[in-house]
Amino acid sequence: MSKKTIMLVCSAGMSTSLLVTKMQKAAEEKGIETDIFAVSASEADTHLAEKDVNVLLLGPQVRFMKDQFDKKVADKGIPVDVINMADYGTMNGEKVLDTALGMIK
């Protein structure tokens, strides 16, 4: 399985950093090579241009931006979804990782 690049977007890029760490740990335990990172909504365009992103996950606080991101990445075929609020609230890295991996075609 090739490396999977998962981008998390939140309002400031800070609140998802703990979730990124937990997702990376879960990926390591499963033996999955990943590049998981969090950015603020304002930085998302730059990262989408620079990286080959497989999945884009939005933090619950920026769920209102889903349509906007769907349009931005439609031509790239990148799936976009909002992180489940319960998983986000409990920082369930394994569950969020499984969700992300399940979105990759």
Catalytic residues: 10
Residues 6+ positions from 31 with CB-CB distance below 8 Å: none
First to last CA, the chain: 12
Three-state SS at 50 = helix
Rg (CA), the chain: 12
Listed residue (103, 51, 70) closest to 36, CA to CA: 51
Candidates 42, 44, 36, 40; CA nearest to 19 is 36
